[in-house]
Chain A
Amino acid sequence: EVQLVQSGAEVKKPGESLRISCKGSGYSFTSYWISWVRQMPGKGLEWMGRIDPSDSYTNYSPSFQGHVTISADKSISTAYLQWSSLKASDTAMYYCASTEGGTNWFDPWGQGTLVTVSS
């Protein structure tokens, strides 16, 4: 069974750095792109960017380019979403989701990681 398991909830202060993770299992990790999707409280889904774990090639939404960094370590089947300096407006649920090579949909999804940024 293809499964994505994300790291646990985080509470951070503005200006702090953070890296959250998404571990894949049950499939060849390098055969699926991993995307990150933001959902702010009470709001909709926003695609942030994605990575091809086979070569770490990344694409970002213009809205998130320069604000976050997506990376992956294929040796441990894990993708990451990273901030260097958090803002209160980064408070949201973050999901990772996989896309099999050559397809154009997201399945499966991770369970989500809640990030709370508050002073």
Chain B
Amino acid sequence: QSALTQPRSVSGSPGQSVTISCTGTSSDVGGYNYVSWYQQHPGKAPKLMIYDVSKRPSGVPDRFSGSKSGNTASLTISGLQAEDEADYYCCSYAGSLPVFGGGTKLTVL
């Protein structure tokens, strides 16, 4: 079970859109519609932002959206706000066990 591949960092200005990718294989991301995304602010616990590739839990702004194509899942944040600056992690199931991505630091310029 290898960690999913995410870019180390992305950045964007307030109001812009950014996309964070999460690349796996046909045994994890590509094989299941079970990708979830988590936001983690410094010193805080992770928070669920997207589940089952593209579904948003109640309370998560609709600026956050998820998608998947082949072995790569993506998290898009539109209308960037200062409070979106955080680390983001993807997670997928590989067989019956979950695996996380390495994490992406989002900087709001």
- Which residues of chain A have a CB within 8 Å of any CB of chain B? 35, 37, 44-47, 59, 61-63, 95, 97, 103-112
Contact = CB atoms under 8 A, between A and B. Distances in A.
A106 B91 contact: yes
B64 interface: no
A106 B51 CA distance: 9
Contacts of A37: 46, 100
Interface size class, chain B: 20 to 34
Nearest to B36: A105
A34 B98 CA distance: 13
Interface string B35-63: 01010100001111001100001000000
Contacts of B36: 104-106
22 contacts: A37-B46, A44-B102, A45-B100, A46-B100, A59-B96, A61-B97, A62-B1, A95-B46, A103-B51, A104-B34, A104-B52, A104-B93, A104-B98, A105-B34, A105-B91, A106-B38, A106-B46, A106-B91, A106-B98, A107-B48, A110-B45, A112-B45
Contacts of A97: 46
Q: Which of B3, B46, B99 has the most CB of A within 10 A?
A: B46
A39 B93 CA distance: 19
Q: Which of A35, A61, A105, A106 has the most CB of B within 10 A?
A: A105
Contacts, number: 62
Given A46-B3, A105-B91, 16 more contacts: A44-B103, A45-B38, A46-B100, A47-B97, A59-B97, A63-B1, A95-B46, A104-B34, A104-B51, A104-B93, A105-B36, A105-B48, A106-B91, A107-B51, A110-B45, A111-B45
A104 B1 CA distance: 17
Top-10 shortest CB links A-B:
A105-B51, A104-B34, A107-B48, A44-B103, A105-B36, A109-B45, A45-B100, A47-B98, A44-B102, A45-B89
